[in-house]
Structure 1
Amino acid sequence: MTSRKNTQSISARTQALCTLVDWHASRKPIEIFLNQYTADLPQRDKSMTKNLVFGVLRNLQTLDQVISQYSKHPLAKMKPRTLVALRLGVFQLLFMERIPQSAAINETVNSLKISRQPKWLLGFTNGLLRNVSRNKDVLLEQLQKDTPNNHPGWLTDRWQKRFGKESMQALYTANNTIPKICLRVNTSNCSRTELMSLFDQAGIQAKLSSLSPEGILLEEPESVPNLPGYTEGFFQVQDVSAQLATLLLEPNRPGQRFLDACAGLGGKTSHIAQHLCRDSTLSATEPDKRRFALLQENLTRLTLQDRVRAVHCSLQELLQSQPQPFDAILLDAPCSGTGVIRRQPDIRWNRSLEDLTAYQTTQQQLLECCANLLNPGGRIVYATCSLETEENQAVVNYFLAKHDDFTIQDAKPLLPPEARHLVTAEGFFHPLPQEQCDGFFAALLVRSPLL
């Protein structure tokens, strides 16, 4: 009889296999398939499935290099299910120390057996993985000397030219490292000191962010809903870069009409809300039905729902309704996401150079809508989680060329002193991926007041 433990392990590996096979065929966001295949799994297996899937995506070129070294069959001629199974097996053998080598091999083969693959293929997979296992130490030594960067060529070419070799290597390292979970304290409900005390009492290893006055970094992976203070709305998961970008809007200014133009799940919306003065108002638009529902759930959990007028519509639809103009607008625009590859490793393989033009068109249109919704003397924070010039500086320059009543304001004075080194000479907030923060871009655009 198969033990419960073994059943769960096989299930996690099988779901990881199915997730990656479906993703390989579609190149849609990996989370779609992860959510589909892990919906009925226990939390432990959900975590294992995600670790396997993300591990393969972060090390794709490395895994293919190893497989090619031990396979007589060209990778290009392998069926996707076979290649994915080999990637999963090799990843476990080389990079998951806690998994016994025999378990990694046997359960990878079993995951193919469950999908009724022919016996010769099971034997081929078993043989290749056993060869890798026998030569593990040699392989790891080779990879220390010469490991692929695990990024597509179109990205590496442009990053090499723009950032230089040293910065580019640091960028690869950051993207291929599992990032810490970052929290933002909801100062409406508790202080950072109080939340750290709760974590300490629960034995949870955490440290203060040195860049954001409200940030906390978890030292070990944790199930966020199980953390003390989650149900009470004491914190929100939010990267330090996003926390700092929200500060550029000056959410604690009195007598202001604020708008979060692309609210999403409400990370920045709730950040503005917790700093909102009594005589200020905040609206937030989100057109997607699922994201809008989660926006409302997050605001309710954080007990901030009464401070936000959440509107289920697009920015264009809001503009057509002719609302009273706003004093400050945050536009966190849809983008390629190349600054958050460390958190969403499928992005590097899902994007192409051609995508940047499509994103740029949308970003320009949304920024134009914001200008039409803004009061004289008002300000727009234009933000993306992209590293690409086409989506950042080029969009800002295009906008300024059309609107001579707008200027760039230096972001540096609005940030904590510890974070001001993340601002460029042009005044843009533009960190690269690093331990405490994701890659990000934010520009503060200020409209001239009426004379």
Structure 2
Amino acid sequence: MSKPSARGAALEILRRWGAAPAPLPPIVEMVLARAGLDGRDRALALALVQETLRRLQDLDEHIAAAGRHPLDRMRPLTLAALRLGLCQLLFFPTMPPSAAVDETVAAFKRLGQPRWLVGFVHGTLRTLARDLSRLHQELVTGGGRPNHPHWLVSRWQERLGEETALALCRANNAVPSLAVRINPGKTQVASLLRSWHEAGLLARHCTFAADCLELPDFGGPPTELPGYGAGHFHVQDEAAQLSCRLLAPLREGGRYLDACAGLGGKTATLAQLLPPDAELTAVEPEPRRFALLQENLARLGLSPRVHCRAGRLEDLAADAPPPFDGILLDVPCSGTGVIRRRPDIRWNRRPEDLSAMPARQRALLACAAPLLAPGGVLVYVTCSMEPEENEGVITDFLARHPNFFPADAAGCLPSEAAALIGPDNFFRTSPLQGLDGFFAARLIRTA
């Protein structure tokens, strides 16, 4: 029996995604669970998949030029193998070209492909490898394709201008740094930074958040970083960390709600920020996410600080709980602000998604509003850069709820982050700033 390989797993993930494009994480989780890879090979498989999806238009353009077969008539597995092989040739410079070609073909062959098709993939990749210098030069001089769907590029160009829109595409096509939040209940920034430096890792302070560190060239699994098992940190982009601070002021004895907790990144940050005698409830309806929420809080030693509730926000509201002093509402969204970390999003989304999303977002906001005490703070958050999900939702909400108003947000953040707050008091970040794209509105209830 052949040993499981990172390329074999990456090929299977790309095949499944290419046959029926869908959110990538469940596909990755299923394939990697079956593959039985160690941590390093799991990280390599994921890196190969993500870079292939980041550069899809560049790869398809060169594959189409190298052969006589239309891409839309290729089998999903064949196209996935060609994309995977060429991605390694172009964007993984430490991989020998011969290994990139031969090991990709071997993985393709192990999946039971006929000899003629294995020969076609091998021959096409060999042709591309021989032309590698020219292909690299074209990428350098021409900058490559946008590697985003035309509808999304056009949308951004109309709103941001052509130059900014293309710069945003380039930022999304770059591999982002791994950012983490330090767990102050377990360690200190200086201690963790020192341990990472001693392990030979390049790590540095983030720009805005004092408890944030980033590793700009770390390609392994976060679970293998010193301090992970001991709960010294959790993975979280700096923009997400800053959005949690908008819930300030956090008062002693206060009651707080993370209304869409997900995997618990913001839940953990809030639990670390809250005064010791404050209460925090986290709501998450999806069973797999709820289990991971509990697991992540336990690793960080934060389980005693958080009451985790499995179910929908609507179910919590139906129980008529005592009012909360602060609510963080990180709503489901299109995710266009995190495309650099989730490159599948750009290809999975459709224009009609941006019309459908706001209805659910408005419903969650309307459900959360009555749960807030007068004088309390409600922070609406998305990782979207689209106005319909951001300013549009808030404008509609304020028109229907005159007892809420958008409050000053700059005073909640470090002085270095003041520029992230606009004249309308909304918080906005962008990959053009080296951050994930977030939007947040800090709303106060008057009565």
TM over 0.5: yes
Distance 1:137 1:253 in 2: 61
Q: Secondary structure at the match of 2:88?
A: helix
Deviation at 1:251, TM superposition (A): 5.9
Question: Which residue does the alignment assign to 1:206?
Answer: 203
Question: Which residue does the alignment assign to 2:62?
Answer: 66
Name which of structure 1's ranges 39-48 and 309-318 shifts more when overlaid on structure 2.
39-48
Give the one of 3, 14, 34 matched to 2:8.
14
Give the one of 80, 92, 97 matched to 1:96.
92
> Does the aligned pair in 2 maintain the 1:385–1:440 contact within 8 Å?
yes
> Does the aligned pair in 1 maintain the 2:64–2:71 contact within 8 Å?
yes
Question: Which residue does the alignment assign to 1:52?
Answer: 48
Distance 2:233 2:102 in 1: 42
Question: Which residue does the alignment assign to 2:364?
Answer: 366
* Structure 2 gap segments, 5+ residues each: none
Give the one of 53, 75, 80 matched to 1:79.
75
Distance 1:262 1:348 in 2: 23
Give the one of 333, 350, 353 matched to 2:351.
353
Question: Which residue does the alignment assign to 1:281?
Answer: 279
Asked whether 1:33 is paired with 2:38, we answer no
Name which of structure 1's ranges 236-245 and 102-111 shifts more when overlaid on structure 2.
102-111
> Does the aligned pair in 2 maintain the 1:240–1:436 contact within 8 Å?
no
Name which of structure 1's ranges 348-357 and 93-102 shifts more when overlaid on structure 2.
93-102
Deviation at 1:303, TM superposition (A): 1.4
* Structure 1 gap segments, 5+ residues each: none
Moved over 3 A (4+): none
Distance 2:52 2:221 in 1: 21
Distance 2:146 2:43 in 1: 25
Structure-to-structure mapping, 1:286-435, within 5 angstroms? 286-434=284-432
Deviation at 1:220, TM superposition (A): 2.7
Deviation at 1:118, TM superposition (A): 2.4
Asked whether 1:149 is paired with 2:146, we answer yes
**For residue 400 of structure 2, what is the amino acid of its counterpart?**
K
Distance 2:60 2:39 in 1: 30
Give the one of 134, 141, 154 matched to 1:138.
134
Query: CA 1:432 to 1:313, structure 2 compared with 1: closer, same or farther past 3 Å?
Result: same
Deviation at 1:427, TM superposition (A): 1.3
- What do residues 370-403 of structure 1 show as CA deviations (whole Å, max 9, x unaligned)? 1111111111100000011111111001101101
Distance 1:69 1:249 in 2: 53
Question: Which residue does the alignment assign to 1:216?
Answer: 213
Q: Secondary structure at the match of 2:16?
A: helix
Q: Secondary structure at the match of 2:15?
A: helix
Deviation at 1:98, TM superposition (A): 1.9
- What do residues 152-203 of structure 1 show as CA deviations (whole Å, max 9, x unaligned)? 0111011111112232222112211111110101112222122212222333
Name which of structure 1's ranges 412-421 and 223-232 shifts more when overlaid on structure 2.
223-232
Query: CA 1:123 to 1:228, structure 2 compared with 1: closer, same or farther past 3 Å?
Result: closer
Question: Which residue does the alignment assign to 2:158?
Answer: 161
- What do residues 326-365 of structure 1 show as CA deviations (whole Å, max 9, x unaligned)? 1110000001101001111000001111112222111011
Give the one of 252, 255, 259 matched to 1:254.
252
Query: CA 1:143 to 1:200, structure 2 compared with 1: closer, same or farther past 3 Å?
Result: closer
Distance 1:190 1:126 in 2: 51
> Does the aligned pair in 1 maintain the 2:176–2:216 contact within 8 Å?
no
Give the one of 187, 191, 195 matched to 2:188.
191
Give the one of 108, 118, 121 matched to 1:122.
118
Give the one of 163, 178, 186 matched to 1:181.
178
> Does the aligned pair in 2 maintain the 1:260–1:285 contact within 8 Å?
yes
Asked whether 1:112 is paired with 2:113, we answer no
Deviation at 1:299, TM superposition (A): 1.4
> Does the aligned pair in 2 maintain the 1:251–1:275 contact within 8 Å?
no
Q: Percent identity?
A: 47
When the two chains are superposed, the root-mean-square deviation of aligned CA atoms in Å is 1.6
Distance 1:297 1:183 in 2: 17
**For residue 330 of structure 2, what is the amino acid of its counterpart?**
D
> Does the aligned pair in 1 maintain the 2:153–2:166 contact within 8 Å?
no
**For residue 385 of structure 1, what is the amino acid of its counterpart?**
C
Structure 1 length as normaliser, TM-score?
A: 0.95
Q: Secondary structure at the match of 1:390?
A: helix
Distance 1:197 1:346 in 2: 35
**For residue 74 of structure 1, what is the amino acid of its counterpart?**
P
Number of equivalenced pairs: 443
> Does the aligned pair in 1 maintain the 2:176–2:340 contact within 8 Å?
yes
Q: Secondary structure at the match of 2:117?
A: helix
Give the one of 243, 252, 255 matched to 1:245.
243
Distance 1:213 1:119 in 2: 57
Q: Secondary structure at the match of 1:339?
A: helix
Query: CA 1:125 to 1:115, structure 2 compared with 1: closer, same or farther past 3 Å?
Result: same
**For residue 198 of structure 2, what is the amino acid of its counterpart?**
Q
